[in-house]
Amino acid sequence: MFKVVDRKELAPIEFEILVEAPLIAKKARAGQFVILRIDEAGERIPLTIVDTDPEAGLVRLIFQVIGKSTAQLATIMAGDSLSDIVGPLGKPTDIENYGTVMLVGGGVGIAALFPIVKALKQAGNRVITILGAKNESLLILHEECAKYSDELILMTDDGSLGQKGLVTQAMEEVFQRETINMAWSIGPSIMMKFCNLTAEKYNVPIFVSLNPIMIDGTGMCGGCRVTIAGKTKFACVDGPEFLGAEVDWDEFINRMKQYHVEEEIANEAYEKQVKSNG
């Protein structure tokens, strides 16, 4: 059993929990994730490791309520316990001093972006972070990202915080004024697709973190298969990070639509907004 020592509501349908998991806390690196079960009959829920406290043995996780299992997880309070947690899983982000880096996060994907922002800054990079959400209430962790960013740009669809518009608009502005050596994008699949297209215009490599359906987390079930550079890969063991230019975006987005009606609605809305912005 893994004890939950703290629980917070960060935004509507977005929650944070701190879990006692000493071994994971000692081993985890930026970009990796865990799979947990609430109880023995529960589904396996993959969640990115947002942060760790190795000395206290704590792992920080953030999730969005999108179905039955995450709705049940949102009812867990401090003092309750989770049945099991497996991790750290996946390949960690390749952290080094690249020079000037750009990190772009959208929605709950900001939770997965934050540990990379932190690690890249600690490695000596000049860090430019761009965060986006529908509105101010959904723009999480921007104050924490600011601590590890040389420049922080906030974008909201309605202009309630930062600038009004899409993260790709902010990317264009940054690319046009300075040289970026490496970039990352984590968020809705349609956002990552357009972030990749924007980075390609300026010949900047950009990594994305893919979140297909995962079951076992060890590459055995094949549920998280994605096509990368024409070859089948498994996000749980070969990723979750891949070069955006190598992802078969049409295939990935179509597969995600099969499982999330909200994903399809978001994709259509994002593409409409991109076209309206030229």
* pLDDT tens by residue, 228-249: 999 999 998 999 999 999 999 9
**Per-residue model confidence as pLDDT tens digits over 77-112:** 999 999 999 999 999 999 999 999 999 999 889 999
pLDDT score of 266: 46
Report the relative pairing of strands 100-106 and 14-20 from DSSP bridges: unpaired
SS (H, E, C) the chain: CEEEEEEEEEECCEEEEEEECHHHHHHCCCCCEEEEECCCCCCCEEEEEEEEECCCCEEEEEEECCCHHHHHHCCCCCCCEECEEEEEECCCCCCCCCCEEEEEEECCHHHHHHHHHHHHHHCCCEEEEEEEECCHHHCCCHHHHHHCCCEEEEEECCCCCCEECCHHHHHHHHHHHCCCCEEEEECCHHHHHHHHHHHHHCCCCEEEECCCCCCCCCCCCCCCEEEECCEEEEHHHHCCEEEHHHECHHHHHHHHHHHCHHHHHHHHHHHHHHHHCC
- The last residue of one of the domains, among 35, 64, 89, is 89
pLDDT score of 255: 82
Q: Are residues 137 and 262 in the same domain?
A: yes
- The last residue of one of the domains, among 42, 59, 89, is 89
- The last residue of one of the domains, among 62, 89, 116, is 89
Q: Angle 96-116-101 (CA atoms, 0-180°, nearest 5)?
A: 60
Domain that holds residue 62: 2-89
CATH of the domain at 146: 3.40.50.80
pLDDT tier for residue 258 given thresholds of 50, 70 and 90: low
Q: Are residues 213 and 247 in the same domain?
A: yes
Q: Are residues 119 and 49 in the same domain?
A: no
Residue 259 above 80 pLDDT? no
Residue 268 above 60 pLDDT? no
Q: Are residues 218 and 139 in the same domain?
A: yes
Q: Are residues 141 and 162 in the same domain?
A: yes
**Per-residue model confidence as pLDDT tens digits over 19-65:** 999 999 999 999 999 999 999 888 899 999 999 999 999 999 999 88
Query: How many separate domains does the chain show?
Result: 2
pTM exceeds 0.85 for this model: yes
Domain-located, residue 95: no
Q: Are residues 183 and 229 in the same domain?
A: yes
Residue 159 above 60 pLDDT? yes
Mean pLDDT of all residues belonging to the chain: 90
Q: Are residues 142 and 32 in the same domain?
A: no
CATH of the domain at 28: 2.40.30.10
**Per-residue model confidence as pLDDT tens digits over 185-222:** 999 999 999 999 999 999 999 999 998 888 877 778 88
Q: Are residues 189 and 264 in the same domain?
A: yes
Domain-located, residue 226: yes
pLDDT tier for residue 276 given thresholds of 50, 70 and 90: low
Q: Are residues 259 and 131 in the same domain?
A: yes
